[in-house]
Structure 1
Amino acid sequence: MTAHSPTVVDAENFPHLAIIGGGIGGVALAVACLHRGIPFTLYERDRGFAARSQGYGLTLQQASKAIEGLGVFSLDDGVISTLHLVHTTDGQVIGDWGIRKWLQGDAKSSPKRTNVHIARQSLRQALLEQLGGDERVQWGHQLVDFQEIDAGGVDLSFQVDGTIQHAKADLLVGADGIRSSVRSLLIGEDASPLRYLGCIVILGICPLENLGRLEHDLLDSATVFQTANGNERIYMMPFTADSVMWQLSFPMPEEDAKALSAEGAQALRDEACKRCQWHDPIPQILATTEAAQVSGYPVYDRALLTADLLEKGKQVTLIGDAAHPMSPFKGQGANQALLDALALARGITKACGPKSPWREAGLRASVLTGFEAEMLKRSATKVKDSADAAEFLHSDIVLHEGDEPRGRCLKRKPQAADDMDRPG
C-alpha cells in the first residue's frame, strides 16, 4: 500500500543527495527524500534488483513506525510472531514469552507492539514501489572515488560498464553496507577495521512443504524459537506464511570460518546437520533445506565511529551498516538503517528550508553534525549489545531459565527493543 502522491522536487532550496547503495537503508532514504521534495540520485553497484542475495529475514520492532513514516502502511508479506520459546537440545522449554502467553494471563498488561518478520527482499521491494520502481535506481554504478569541492558539493567517479563516469551532488550519503566504499574513501580502513566477533553464522530457508506430512506446534507460522547447548545456537522464525528461516551460529577461529564459508552451500548445510541432531523439528528442517537456500559467513562488526572521523567529510555522511555495522544476533541492522534514513531526511527538511542559510553555513554545520550525533548515540547501544550477544548466546548464559530474552539476566533492566530475541 502506497502513500499519497510525492511532493514536487524542490531543487532550489534543498541539497541534491547522491545516495550510494540500493539496499534497505539507501532505498528508504530515497523514499524519505521523495516524500519531502528533496532531490536525490540513488546509485547501486549491482546490475539489477535480484543480482545477488540480499540476505534472509528481518525482524522489525521500533522501526515499524519508521516504515509508516516512509509511506508503507502495510507489509503484505510480513508475518507477526506471537510466541517465543527457548529450548535445550532435548526440547525442554526454559524460556517462554510473547503476546500469546501474556494474553493468557492479563490481557490488559499485554504490550501493544508486535514484531513483524519479513524477507529482506520483500521489504526492499515495498520500498522500491514507494520510490516508483526499479527505474529510479542507477544500477551498475560502482563508486570508485569522490572529491569534495571547496565551494560546495561533491564530484563523484563511478565505474560503469568498464568506463569511468562522473556526477555531482551537494551531499554524498554512504548507505553501502559493512564494506562501504564511501566509508573507506572518507576515513580509511585502518581507522576502524573490521572486527571479527569469534563466530560463524549459517543461514537457510525451508518451505514447510519440504517437510511432507510433518506437523509440529513450532511450525505454526507464528512461533519463534531457539535451541542452544552453550556452544551452538539455532534460531528459527517465520520467513513467510509457508516457510521458516533458520540461523545457526557457533564459535570458530576466523580462518576456519572463512574456509568453511568458502566451501559453499552444501558444506555449510552438512556442517549444520552434523551439529544439530537435536529435538524435532530441527533435524528435519535442516535436512530438507535445499543447498541453494543456504549461505554462511564469519560475523564482523566495527568499532564505534567517533564524531571526529565523520567530520572529515564536510558534505559526506554515512547511514546504516556503513556507519554502525553490527552482528545479526540482536536483529537491529535494518531497524537502525530505517531510523537513520528517516532522521536524515527530516533533518534536511528542517534545516534547509527557503530561508535557511545552509549553502553559506555548509551542510556539516546545518545538518550533518546534529544528525550524526543522534545516530551515533542511538546506535551505540545496539552495536554493543549485538557484539555482547555474539558471546553470550554461545555460552551457558543462553541456558538461563526465565521467561525473558536471553541476556536480559545480564542487565536486569528494561530495554527499548530486543529485536530478534523479542517477538510479540
Structure 2
Amino acid sequence: MAPSMALNHRLIISTSNHRGTNSFVGGRIPLKPHRAYPLRCARETRLRVSASAAPPKRVAVVGGGPAGLTFALALSKLNNGAGAENIQVFEQYGSLKPTLGAGFNINGGAAILCKLGLDKELKEIGNPMQRVLARTVTGDPLFDVNIPKILPDSLKFNGDPVAYTVMRSDLQAVLESKLPEGMVRTSAQVIDVFETGMGVRLRLADGSTSDEFDLVVGCDGIRSLIRAAVTNSTAPVAAPVYSGIRILFAVAPLGTYPKADPGEVHQWFGDGAYALAYSGGKGERGRDMLALCVADGSKVAENEAWAEGSGREQCTAMLQAAAMPEELVDLVGASERIFDIGVHYHNTLPRWTNGSKLVLLGDSAHAMPPFMGQGANQAIQDAYCLAEKLGQVGGEYESMEEAIVAYEKVRQVPTAAIMQISRLNGWIETQGGIGATLRDLLFKVLGVLGIPAQIFLQNAVPRV
C-alpha cells in the first residue's frame, strides 16, 4: 500500500506495573469512544487514516511495568531513538510499587536487555541460575538440569550465561534509571481512550486529557483497557476460565531456605501439589521465594493486582497436607508477604491490533499461565520486537501498520505455543492420586532422556 506523507505518527503505550491495571467499577472497563470519532475496526480505520512512512514521533507509555519500561528504553535506543521525539511513561500509582509481586527467572528477556546495554546491571541485581533440581516429597530425584552447561550462544552475552532470577522491583528500578528524568509520570491512571480524527487521546482519572497521539500500544495487563478497545473493534473474547489451580507465593528474607548454591532452583512434587523454591535477586534486596501450586476446585480469584493476603496459616497447612519438606514450612513461617493467586486461562487473540491505532504486547496480548516462568521474558521480547519494527518504518516497512503486522507475525506463534505448553505443564504438575504416581514416573523418564533441558531451551531462547 502506497504510504501518504501527510500524517506524522505519534505513539501511546498502555502498560502497568502489575498484571491488572486500570481499576473500574462494577467489573466493566469504562471505555467510551469519543462521540465524534468512535474507535472502529482495522478496515474502517485504514479507509479513514493515511499511513505514515515515518517512525512515531511522540510516545506515551501508560504504566511502569517491565514491558512498558523496556519498550520505552528500546524505542529510545534502537535506530537512534526510532525517530521518537517525546516519550512519556504514565504510571497510575504514586510510585513504582517496591513490594509488588515477587521474583522471577529471566533468560530470553535477559538476553534482550543485554542487547539494550543492561548486562552490567543484570549482573548486579540478578542471581545466576545454576541448576534446576526436581524431587518428590520423599527426596526421590526426578531430573537435574545444569543451566550454564545447556545454554546456547543466544542465551549468552560476551560469552557469559544470561539466565538469572531477579526481584521484579529491582528490574523496574534499573529500567527506570535508564530513562531520562521526567519521562515517568506517576499518579496518572488512564481510564479511557478515544479517537479525535487525526489521532488518539487518553483520559486520566484526575479528569485531564492527554495530548494527541497516533498509536496506542497496550501492555496494561490481564485487565487491559486497550485490549477491550481492540477486541471491541475486531471480535469478542471469551471470559477467562479458572484452571482449577491455586498458587500461594511466599516471600521471605534471603537465606531462609537452605540450599547448596544460591543459584539452585528446587522443585518438589507431592500429591496434588507442586512447590518451587529459589532465591530471587541477591544482596540486601534479594529474597527467598516459594510458589506452592495446588489443585483447588473452589474457583479462587485471579488477584491480578497482586494484593497481599494473610494466608500464612493456610499455606502452611497445604504444605503439610502434601507432605512437603519442613524447610518449605519454615520459609512460609518467616515470610514477609503472601500472595494468593487463582490461575485463570485466557484465550489467545487472533489479532493484537485494530489495524492502525491500537496494538497490544505482554499480558494484554497473551496472559501467560506461570508454569513455564515465561510471562516477563515474553513481554520483554514483545517490547523489543515492536520497538525494532516501528523503528524500521520508512525503510524495511512502508507504514506503521505494516510494521505492526510484522511484529504480530514474529511474536504470535511462539507466545501462543508457550501458553499452551504452560497449561499442560500446570495440569501435569498438580496431579493427585494415581496421577501423581504417573507424573513422577514420567518426569523421571524424561529426565533420563534430557527432555526437561530441551523444554527449558525451547521456551527460553529469544524469538524476536
Correspondent of 2:264 among 223, 230, 233:
223
Matches of 2:99 and 2:447 in 1, distance apart? 29
- In the alignment, which residue of structure 2 is the partner of 1:29? 71
Contact kept in structure 2, 1:304 and 1:380, CA below 8 Å: yes
Q: Secondary structure at the match of 1:402?
A: helix
Q: Is residue 139 of structure 2 the alignment partner of residue 91 of structure 1?
A: yes
| Greater Cα shift, 41-50 or 338-347 | 41-50
Q: Is residue 61 of structure 2 the alignment partner of residue 19 of structure 1?
A: yes
**Unaligned segments of structure 1, at least 5 residues:** 1-9, 104-110, 420-424
- In the alignment, which residue of structure 1 is the partner of 2:412? 376
Contact kept in structure 2, 1:392 and 1:407, CA below 8 Å: no
Q: Which amino acid aligns with 1:383?
A: M
Correspondent of 1:239 among 280, 283, 304:
280
Matches of 2:294 and 2:63 in 1, distance apart? 30
Q: Secondary structure at the match of 2:139?
A: coil
Q: Secondary structure at the match of 2:203?
A: strand
Q: Which amino acid aligns with 1:275?
A: M
The CA deviation at 1:356 is 7.4
Q: Is residue 174 of structure 2 the alignment partner of residue 174 of structure 1?
A: no
The CA deviation at 1:90 is 2.1
Q: Is residue 188 of structure 2 the alignment partner of residue 141 of structure 1?
A: yes
- In the alignment, which residue of structure 2 is the partner of 1:183? 227
Matches of 1:368 and 1:319 in 2, distance apart? 11
- In the alignment, which residue of structure 1 is the partner of 2:440? 399
Pairing 1:200-349 to 2, within 5 Å after superposition: 200-208=246-254, 216=258, 218=259, 220-241=261-282, 243-256=287-300, 265-266=309-310, 268-277=311-320, 278-290=324-336, 293-307=337-351, 310-349=352-391
Matches of 2:397 and 2:142 in 1, distance apart? 57
Contact kept in structure 2, 1:207 and 1:244, CA below 8 Å: yes
Q: What TM-score results when the alignment is normalised by the length of structure 1? A: 0.80
The CA deviation at 1:321 is 0.5
The CA deviation at 1:79 is 0.3
Correspondent of 1:386 among 413, 416, 422:
422
Matches of 1:113 and 1:402 in 2, distance apart? 27
Q: Which amino acid aligns with 2:360?
A: L
Q: Cα RMSD (Å) of the superposition? A: 3.3
- In the alignment, which residue of structure 1 is the partner of 2:36? none
- In the alignment, which residue of structure 2 is the partner of 1:115? 163
Contact kept in structure 1, 2:397 and 2:403, CA below 8 Å: no
Cα gap change, 1:263/1:60 in structure 2, threshold over 3 Å: closer, same or farther? closer
- In the alignment, which residue of structure 1 is the partner of 2:174? 126
- In the alignment, which residue of structure 2 is the partner of 1:108? none
| Greater Cα shift, 37-46 or 77-86 | 37-46
The CA deviation at 1:240 is 3.0
Once the two structures are superposed, what CA deviation does each residue of 1:105-160 show, in whole Å capped at 9, x if it has no partner? xxxxxx97452100011111111111135x3112222222222355x421222222
Cα gap change, 1:372/1:406 in structure 2, threshold over 3 Å: closer, same or farther? farther
Q: Which amino acid aligns with 1:132?
A: P
The CA deviation at 1:22 is 1.5
Q: Which amino acid aligns with 1:340?
A: D
The CA deviation at 1:210 is 5.2
Report the number of matched residues. Answer: 381
Q: Is residue 127 of structure 2 the alignment partner of residue 79 of structure 1?
A: yes
Matches of 1:83 and 1:282 in 2, distance apart? 18
Cα gap change, 1:328/1:349 in structure 2, threshold over 3 Å: closer, same or farther? same
Contact kept in structure 2, 1:199 and 1:254, CA below 8 Å: no
Matches of 2:449 and 2:119 in 1, distance apart? 32
Matches of 2:88 and 2:412 in 1, distance apart? 25
- The sequence identity of aligned pairs, in percent, is 22
The CA deviation at 1:245 is 0.7
Q: Secondary structure at the match of 1:144?
A: strand
Contact kept in structure 2, 1:17 and 1:41, CA below 8 Å: yes
Contact kept in structure 2, 1:398 and 1:407, CA below 8 Å: no
Contact kept in structure 2, 1:325 and 1:333, CA below 8 Å: yes
Q: What TM-score results when the alignment is normalised by the length of structure 2? A: 0.74
Cα gap change, 1:132/1:406 in structure 2, threshold over 3 Å: closer, same or farther? farther
